[in-house]
Amino acid sequence: MRNIFFKVFTSLALLAIVSTTSQAQDNSIDKIVAVVGDQVVLKSDVENRFIQYKSQGYQSGSVDLKSEIFEDLLIEKLMIAQAQIDSIEVTEQEVESDLQRKVDMYIQRIGSKEKLEQYFKKSIAEMKNELRDITRNDKIKQKMQAEITKNITATPAEVRDLYNKIPKDSLPTIPGEMQIQQITRSPKISDAEKDRIREKLRNFRDRITKGESFATLAVLYSEDPGSSQRGGELGFTPRANLVPEFANEAFNLKPGKISKIVESEYGFHIIQLIDRKGERINVRHILLKPKVKQEDRVRATEVLDSIADMIRNDKIKFKEAAFYYSDDKDTKQNGGLIVNPNNASSKFTKESLAPSIAKVANTLKVGEISEAFLDDQRGKETYKIIKIKSQTKPHKANLADDWSQFENMLKNKKQQAVLSKWISEKQKSTYISIDDSYKNTPFRFKNWIK
């Protein structure tokens, strides 16, 4: 069943970063078209979302897609307005966590951090800034929906009854899924190479101190593709959105001052503070990335191949090897199991895997361990070995294998009924004003116009 209240367009939500910014700035067409509680809906909100949906090939279930979008926005604002009354809040950490999951998903889809920044000509920090309010509203909406539907359950008898009522030729096909474990190694950078990078940055710092433009040097030399074209400027960013080493130095700067050389997982930086507003700062930086020597690449792959041989020969379990030898802090604690950023589970369809991993995974059987291969999707040259922990084949849905699918289907059906009732009731007790140009909208819920 299609969820009529919340649509999730994660695969190409990147388009929102571009279209929302450009369209929202067209003030000649923008105006308030609805007020729900103290929440407003702008005409640009409707137009931007319409562009996003059309660009993603979304087919409306109604005759008029814009009308459907407008009502979805009214429902969204109704929930946010009620969340304020009920003191339902989200923390900045929750927002940043959701933002990071989105960015990880975008990077996985497009191939690497650098490709993502080059494609949109924006830094990751700028993309997060543009998505932050949208993400915060989504999170509030999710919490409000969870509160409304928190008592909904599905008994085993109800699940079996639902399954038995579905014609067998209408049962959905469940795609094959796999779980993948990994062990990663990053080539070591020589001290001589680090010294070479530091010396270049010291030279840039001296030139800036003597009067040269930081922004010009960033355009000419910075290896951060997302910010270099804008003179290294990142835009206003909270501390949580920056790697710790960078944030610690940047937040201690005074406007116009230049930092000492900072080493992070991305390379080496010098930073200049432009402005600070509370717990957000706007900085520019120059990033230089140390070059990896071929012998260090070879060494990383040799270490991984040696680890793979130990696992194949039962000298160590994959889970233990990941804990002791993997460089990836996000997976080494859970046996190397990779988390799917699309749904926060450990299961992937072949289509949802990053291309570099899919190419290798498709050659393996369950339990097999790959040779070492390059995977630099996060913008850092990294080598890894992977193992297919489990794999299922595509199949017609059935109760034995897919109980949770039917249980969730039933819960979703019940949730839609509860949400529909809640919306109808809250419409009556909430201040709602609709612009005259939208009053003839073919609404699904009747009480928007008072």
Residue 74's pLDDT is what? 96
How far, CA to CA in Å, does 355 sit from each of 205, 310, 342, 374? 39, 27, 15, 12
pLDDT, position 29 = 59
Per-residue pLDDT at 379: 60
**pLDDT score of 62:** 56
Instruction: Provide the pLDDT for residue 111.
Output: 74
Which pTM value belongs to this model?
0.64
Q: Where in the chain is the domain with CATH 1.10.4030.10?
A: 14-156+400-448
pLDDT at 134: 87
pLDDT at 4: 37
CATH class of 191-288: alpha beta
Q: Given this model, what pLDDT does residue 25 score?
A: 47
What's the CATH fold of domain 14-156+400-448? Triger factor/SurA peptide-binding fold (1.10.4030)
Report the pLDDT value the prediction gives residue 6, as an integer from 0 to 100. Answer: 39
Q: Residues of the chain whose pLDDT is less than 50?
A: 1-28
The identity of residue 335, as a single letter, is G
Check residue 399 and give its pLDDT: 94
The whole-number pLDDT of residue 17 equals 47
Q: Are 335 and 318 in contact (CB under 8 A)?
A: yes
CATH 3.10.50.40: which residues of the chain?
Answer: 176-187+293-393, 191-288
Please tell me the predicted confidence (pLDDT) of residue 24: 45
The third-level CATH classification (topology) of the domain covering 176-187+293-393 is Chitinase A; domain 3 (3.10.50)
